[in-house]
Structure 1
Amino acid sequence: MNNDSFSKKFHSISGITITPFKPNTKEVDWAAVRENVNFLIESGVDVIVPCGNTSEFYALTIEEAKEEIKQVVHCAAGRATVVAGIGYSVETAIEMGRYAKEVGADSIMIHMPVHPYITDEGALAYFKKIIQSVDLPAVIYFKDPHISDQVLIELAQLERLVAVKYAINDLARFALTIQSVPNDKKVAWICGTAEKWAPFFFSAGAVGFTSGLVNVFPQKSLELMEALQEQNQEQIWSLWKDIIPFEDLRAKYNNGNNVVVIKEAMEYIGLQGGVTREPVSKLNDRDRQELELLLHEWGLSPQVTNG
């Protein structure tokens, strides 16, 4: 399959996995990792992204991140497209990317560099060197509003770039960037800020969105994706209104709740969420009560899940 065809795989939901940690030791629960991947695939999610930010990527050691990629690939066993999250230093990202290819990942997602001193030229050099050094289709996770979108326009010339996960909620900026990249480059533009922003990004040219909600309630996310593809406005906004309270709860404290809401929701309904690692903390009592109420309103409870 050429990279032009591969980009069409991202006309879908990119399901970001969580990394379940054991309560007492905070070691990765690999059996739970596999169980969660099976749950996603059996629910209809066809793009699986281990080692994303909702996977607590920066709380993992390099060896744990590699093992997570390997476990997800082996569990998926060709049933879904696996996009391995990679990052840190240039050489570390290249090492992780080559490892991902070795164990059978289909693509890589390059995290935005977490660095206090980053320029447009530096970001361009970072992404370009990794893309050129790893022989897999590449996705860029673009989320720093201080970096010019000209970086993406230039990187779109690279054959291996198949998609951009755009996580800056500036719709005018996003639309102008898409329009600045020739259609023949076949880059899939993904809403990188999940269901809350997906309808707006789709109106500006997105063809897919990322999701953490799929780990809890995949049917809801898949229904939204179908409505967006069919341009069923009534259904889109009905689903959006239903999802908003959950996503707003995740967005509290400057997105500090992003991961823990997913994990505690999974645990509450009987799935394998596990605990978080520092610096992510537990939900406070007020937020937990709000979460449980939302889950009950969706008809999700331990009894329903296990019954």
Structure 2
Amino acid sequence: MFEGSFVALVTPFKNGQIDYKKLKELVEFHIEKGTNGIVPCGTTGESATLSFDEHERMIGEVVSMVGGRIRVLAGAGSNNTGEALRLTRHAKDVGADGALLITPYYNKPTPEGLYRHYKLIAEEVDIPIVIYNVPSRTGISILPETVARLSEIKNIVGIKEASGSIDQTTQILQLCNITVLSGDDSLTLPIMSVGGKGVISVVANIVPADTAALTRYCLEGNFEAARKCHHKLFPLCKGMFIETNPIPVKTAMKLLGRINGEMRLPLCDMTKEHENQLVNTLKKYGLMP
């Protein structure tokens, strides 16, 4: 159900508010460039600083803007199970194709706690659910054995795997048939080479067609062409993480004239040194003169 290139969409702001006109432009840009799906209100979308009203409206707006042309996988996670349940219900109500739920951060639940968190939400809301494992953000990594247990629940269909470990992905796929999507742009090729089905991508905000091509080649089994894409994309992928995501990607989009680059505190402008590095990376890729 979820395969190929899904963009972890940035949230465009203007004077402190979500810029829905710009959001529409970004959605149309991705559809035109061959992105397979859109993930609004994830980490890259600064979900941590969106109010409930903003979060819910943005999901609804993106679903409406997409109009069924590609998939919408709505960010709906929280470290509060009740809040995650509310956001997941809303995602279903407005017609999202699925919900992306991060492992609860800060609480550091046990494997059994993680299992119960996802099980409760999956049983309460009949929508396809993708687990999001990103231990660098949350302080915990979901065990492959827990993923396998959860995969037995009919509407838990995938996992965004951002642990940085190919072993983790391999172990998950040896234990169950759940769809694995890369959560690290630089590891999309390795993860797909062991059985992953795509990526939820930061760099796709910058180069959606190239990111989609990489995943398409992998799905077709054309790993020679995929390797060429990987090596071309690699410096740009690394450039998106020279500071905390989404600072570099929003800065890059500003430099390319796509958005104004506005972020919400506690995120702030990139240092001049890092911005110069980013400019050089964009130039070497051919995105800037």
1: CA distance, partners of 2:193 / 2:36: 23
- Report the AA paired with residue 124 of structure 2: S
- 2:259 equivalent in structure 1: 272
Report deviation, 1:273: 5.1
Query: 1:141 and 1:273, CA in 2 relative to 1: closer, same or farther beyond 3 A?
Result: farther
> Is contact 1:249–1:287 with CA below 8 Å preserved after alignment?
no
2: CA distance, partners of 1:130 / 1:115: 19
1:162 and 2:160 aligned = no
3-state DSSP of counterpart to 1:283: coil
Greater per-residue helix proportion: 1
- 1:250 equivalent in structure 2: 240
RMSD across aligned C-alpha pairs, in angstroms? 1.7
3-state DSSP of counterpart to 2:44: helix
Q: Which of 79, 82, 86 is residue 91 of structure 1 equivalent to?
A: 82
Report deviation, 1:40: 0.8
Q: Which runs of 5+ in 2 are unaligned?
A: none
Q: Which of 198, 206, 217 is residue 227 of structure 1 equivalent to?
A: 217
TM-score by length of 1: 0.87
1: CA distance, partners of 2:189 / 2:41: 25
Query: 1:250 and 1:299, CA in 2 relative to 1: closer, same or farther beyond 3 A?
Result: closer
Query: 1:252 and 1:297, CA in 2 relative to 1: closer, same or farther beyond 3 A?
Result: closer
TM-score by length of 2: 0.92
Cα deviation code 1:267-301 (max 9, x no counterpart): 11121253111222211112111222222223324
Q: Which of 101, 105, 128 is residue 137 of structure 1 equivalent to?
A: 128
Q: Which of 5, 8, 11 is residue 16 of structure 1 equivalent to?
A: 8
1: CA distance, partners of 2:142 / 2:130: 17
- 2:250 equivalent in structure 1: 263
2: CA distance, partners of 1:72 / 1:123: 29
Report deviation, 1:226: 2.5
Cα deviation code 1:159-180 (max 9, x no counterpart): 1111111111221232122111
Q: Which runs of 5+ in 1 are unaligned?
A: 1-6
Question: What is the aligned residue count?
Answer: 284
Stretch of structure 1 that moved more, 60-69 or 166-175: 166-175
Query: 1:50 and 1:146, CA in 2 relative to 1: closer, same or farther beyond 3 A?
Result: closer
1: CA distance, partners of 2:156 / 2:141: 21
Moved over 4 A (4+): none
3-state DSSP of counterpart to 1:55: coil
2: CA distance, partners of 1:64 / 1:70: 10
1: CA distance, partners of 2:263 / 2:269: 7
Cα deviation code 1:38-96 (max 9, x no counterpart): 11111111211111111111111111110110110010011111111112221111111
2: CA distance, partners of 1:263 / 1:285: 14
1:300 and 2:287 aligned = yes
- 2:201 equivalent in structure 1: 211
> Is contact 2:27–2:65 with CA below 8 Å preserved after alignment?
yes
- 2:187 equivalent in structure 1: 197
Report deviation, 1:214: 1.6
Q: Which of 43, 62, 65 is residue 75 of structure 1 equivalent to?
A: 65
- Report the AA paired with residue 40 of structure 2: P
